[in-house]
């Protein structure tokens, strides 16, 4: 807790400097959406950004900007056909792989410098989504979306290292929209109201709160020619493994689970160790299963992962959906974006 108090003082003082104008936040003549969280680790940012992409890609000229965490390149970069997760980072390459024919994906550590480069390079861009940018205050977003993990709510957590918060709870007040992620399907109205009340203790009182869940889709093949088996050797390198493990245990026969750190860069030795453990499992009917984010990393390891071509390796696609009021969210988003773009003469 003493170290948490020190960290809280530092982050609160930094926010104070932005709030009083000592440190500058830059505005742009494009509609900027910031998506992020208070909690370190997985809160469902990637599937939420993909939801925004699906909602907006046919109506607006759209770009995604990420810092490109753990990529091996530096500086500003717009995704192209020669890129993979090593040059872009996991999430940007996933966005590019799935939606690259409809949107522009860019990476840059300093987003206040990267946004003008996007505008100069891709003049037709109307909307820029900043991935994981709630603490990136050098850019002033038009819409600030805060994600809150239902299983690890920020209002019961503490600042690092006492807990997982990147900054104190009171900074939820910067959010224009709050989306509670990873909710159970059976979440009732009473519990939703209770969560809203807890959130509104720290946020603006009128901020809209939406509730969403994660839907796992049919497993897809990465390597091998074998059919999918319900006997699963699971492996992943994600922040919060509990929902994934729960889903696999409920729907398949979980034989083993190898956890790697979040954003783990697999090595050849990692994969060989996985193969050895898989071979030792006493079952002829079995397969390796991982997440979509981890699959993106595997596909970038063309040489190191080559021997896995003979193994049945599958991944679980996921998507985010709203438990209620999904149409209201879409209408609200389109109304706000459309109005602001008209104000700056882009529509």
Residues 243 and 307 in one domain: yes
Q: Are 9 and 167 in contact (CB under 8 A)?
A: no
Residues 163 and 208 in one domain: yes
Cα dihedral across residues 154, 157, 163, 167: positive or negative: positive
pLDDT per residue as tens digits for the range 18-33: 999 999 999 999 999 9
pLDDT per residue as tens digits for the range 100-146: 999 999 999 999 999 999 999 999 999 999 999 999 999 999 999 99
What distances in angstroms separate CA 202 from CA 55, 178, 195, 222, one per listed residue?
Answer: 29, 12, 12, 43
Residues 179 and 301 in one domain: no
- Tally of domains in the chain: 2
Torsion of CA 145, 146, 149, 150, to 10 degrees: -80
pLDDT per residue as tens digits for the range 309-327: 889 999 999 999 999 988 9
Confidence at 284, pLDDT banded by 50, 70, 90: confident
Residues 165 and 294 in one domain: no
**CATH number, position 46:** 3.40.50
Residues 198 and 130 in one domain: yes
pLDDT per residue as tens digits for the range 179-235: 999 999 889 999 999 999 999 999 999 999 999 999 999 999 999 899 999 999 999
Q: Is the pLDDT of residue 347 over 70?
A: no
Residues 208 and 222 in one domain: no
Q: Are 51 and 320 in contact (CB under 8 A)?
A: yes
Residues 149 and 240 in one domain: no
Question: Phi/psi zone of residue 106: left (φ > 0), alpha (ψ -120 to 50 degrees), beta?
Answer: beta
Residues 147 and 238 in one domain: no
CA distance 107 to 93: 10
pTM of the complete model: 0.89
Confidence at 301, pLDDT banded by 50, 70, 90: confident
User: Which domain covers residue 34, as residue numbers?
Assistant: 2-60+126-215+322-343
Residues 24 and 164 in one domain: yes
Residues 222 and 201 in one domain: no
pLDDT at 298: 87
Q: Is the pLDDT of residue 44 over 90?
A: no
Q: Considering the domain boundaries, does residue 35 fall inside one?
A: yes
pLDDT per residue as tens digits for the range 170-190: 999 999 999 999 999 889 999
CA distance 222 to 309: 8
Residues 304 and 241 in one domain: yes
Q: Considering the domain boundaries, does residue 184 fall inside one?
A: yes
Question: Which of helix, strand or coil describes residue 213?
Answer: strand
- The number of beta carbons lying within 10 Å of the beta carbon of residue 157 is 18
């Amino acid at each position: 807790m003493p170290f948490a108090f020190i960290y809280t003082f530092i982050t609160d003082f930094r926010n104070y400097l932005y709030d009083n104008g000592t440190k500058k936040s830059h505005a742009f003549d494009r509609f900027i959406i910031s998506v992020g969280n208070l909690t370190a680790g997985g809160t469902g940012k990637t599937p939420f950004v993909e939801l925004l992409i699906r909602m907006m890609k046919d109506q607006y000229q759209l770009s995604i900007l990420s810092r490109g965490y753990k990529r091996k390149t530096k500086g500003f970069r717009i995704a192209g056909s020669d890129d993979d997760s090593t040059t872009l980072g996991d999430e940007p390459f996933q966005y590019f792989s799935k939606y690259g024919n409809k949107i522009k994906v860019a990476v840059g550590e300093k987003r206040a410098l990267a946004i003008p480069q996007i505008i100069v390079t891709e003049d037709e861009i109307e909307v820029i989504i900043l991935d994981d940018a709630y603490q990136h205050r050098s850019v002033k977003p038009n819409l600030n979306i805060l994600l809150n993990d239902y299983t690890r709510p920020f209002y019961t957590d503490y600042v690092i290292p006492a807990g997982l918060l990147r900054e104190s709870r009171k900074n939820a007040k910067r959010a224009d929209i709050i989306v509670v992620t990873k909710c159970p399907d059976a979440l009732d109205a009473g519990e939703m109201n209770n969560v809203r009340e807890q959130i509104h203790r720290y946020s603006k009182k009128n901020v809209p709160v939406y509730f969403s869940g994660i839907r796992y889709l049919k497993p897809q093949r990465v390597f091998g020619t074998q059919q999918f088996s319900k006997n699963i050797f699971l492996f992943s390198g994600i922040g919060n493994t509990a929902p994934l493990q729960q889903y696999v245990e409920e729907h398949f026969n979980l034989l083993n689970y190898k956890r790697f750190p979040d954003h783990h860069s697999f090595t050849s030795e990692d994969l060989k160790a996985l193969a050895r453990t898989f071979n030792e499992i006493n079952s002829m009917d079995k397969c390796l299963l991982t997440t979509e984010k981890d699959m993106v990393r595997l596909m970038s390891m063309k040489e190191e992962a080559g021997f896995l071509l003979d193994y049945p390796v599958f991944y679980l696609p996921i998507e985010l959906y709203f438990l209620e009021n999904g149409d209201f969210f879409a209408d609200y988003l389109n109304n706000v974006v459309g109005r602001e773009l008209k104000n700056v003469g882009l529509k």
